[in-house]
Chain A
Amino acid sequence: MIRAAAVGAGVLLLLLLGIPIASLILRVPAASLATRMADPAIQEALRLSLVTTLISTLLIVLIGTPVAYVLATRDFPGKRVVETLIDLPMVLPPTVAGLALLLAFGRMGIAGKILGFGLPFTTLAVIVAQVFMAAPFFIAPARAGFAALDRRLLDAAATLRASEGYAFARVVLPLTLPSLTAGAAMACARALGEFGATITFAGNLPGVTQTMPLAVYVAFQSDLEAAIVLSVLLMILSFGLLLGLRAATGRMGPASSLAAPIAR
Chain B
Amino acid sequence: MLVGESGSGKTTALRLLAGLLEPAEGRIELDGLTYFDSSRNLSVVPHKRPIGYVAQDYALFPHLNVLENVAFGLRALRMPAPLRRASELLERFGITDLAERRPAQLSGGQQQRVALARALAIEPRLLLLDEPLAALDLSTRRVVRAELIRLLAELPCVTIYVTHSPAEALLFGERVTVLEKGRVSQSGARDDLLRHPRSSYVAEFLGLNLYRGVVGSRTDDGLVRVSVEGGELFLAEDAPIGEEIHVVVDPREVVLSTERPQGSARNVFVGPIEEIAPEPPLGERVRVSVGSRPALIAEVTRAAASAMALAPGRMAYASFKATGARAYR
Contact = CB atoms under 8 A, between A and B. Distances in A.
Interface in A164-190: 164, 166, 170-171, 174-175
Given A152-B57, A152-B59, A160 B73 contact: yes
Interface string B47-81: 11101110101011111000000001101110000
B55 A155 contact: yes
A158 interface: yes
Interface residues of B, number: 27
A161 B61 contact: no
B76 A163 contact: yes
Contacts of A174: 63
A155 B20 contact: yes
Contacts of B61: 153, 156-157, 171
Interface in B255-283: none
A86 interface: no
A159 B51 contact: yes
Contacts of B9: none
Contacts of A152: 55, 57, 59
A158 B47 contact: yes
B72 to A, nearest CB: 5
Given A152-B55, A152-B59, A160 B20 contact: no
Given A161-B47, A161-B122, A156 B59 contact: yes
A212 B53 CA distance: 56
A166 B119 CA distance: 17
Contacts of A156: 53, 55, 59-61
B119 A159 contact: yes
Contacts of B291: none
Contact of B19 (A150, A157, A158): A158
B173 interface: no
A87 B59 CA distance: 33
B46 A158 contact: yes
Contacts, number: 68
Contacts of B287: none
B59 A150 contact: yes
B113 interface: no
Contacts of B45: 158
Interface residues of A, number: 19
B256 to A, nearest CB: 50
A155 B53 contact: yes
Given A153-B61, A174-B63, A175-B63, A162 B76 contact: yes
B59 A155 contact: yes
Nearest to A153: B59
Contacts of A157: 47, 61, 72, 76
A151 to B, nearest CB: 10
Contacts of A166: 76
Contacts of A162: 47, 72-73, 76
Nearest to A264: B62
B297 to A, nearest CB: 40
A145 to B, nearest CB: 14
Contacts of B122: 160-161
B14 to A, nearest CB: 10
B310 interface: no
B286 to A, nearest CB: 44
Contacts of A161: 47-48, 73, 76-77, 122
Contacts of A160: 47, 72-73, 76, 118-119, 122
Contacts of A153: 59, 61-62
Interface in B199-243: none
Contacts of A159: 18, 20, 46-47, 49, 51-53, 119
B289 to A, nearest CB: 40
A242 B62 CA distance: 27
Nearest to A156: B59
Contacts of B53: 155-156, 159
Contact of A170 (B20, B49, B72, B77): B72
A163 B78 CA distance: 12
B46 to A, nearest CB: 4
A164 B47 CA distance: 9
B108 to A, nearest CB: 16
A264 B46 CA distance: 22
A252 B20 CA distance: 31
A175 to B, nearest CB: 6
A142 to B, nearest CB: 18
B166 to A, nearest CB: 27
Given A160-B118, A161-B76, A175 B47 contact: no
A162 B61 CA distance: 13
Contacts of B57: 152
Contacts of A150: 59
Contacts of A155: 15, 18, 20, 46, 53, 55, 59
A163 B61 CA distance: 16
11 contacts: A155-B15, A155-B20, A157-B61, A158-B20, A158-B45, A159-B47, A161-B77, A161-B122, A162-B72, A175-B62, A175-B63
Given A152-B57, A162-B47, 6 more contacts: A159-B47, A159-B119, A161-B122, A163-B47, A164-B47, A175-B63
9 nearest A-B pairs in the assembled complex, by CB-CB distance: A160-B73, A159-B53, A162-B76, A158-B46, A156-B59, A152-B59, A174-B63, A161-B76, A161-B47
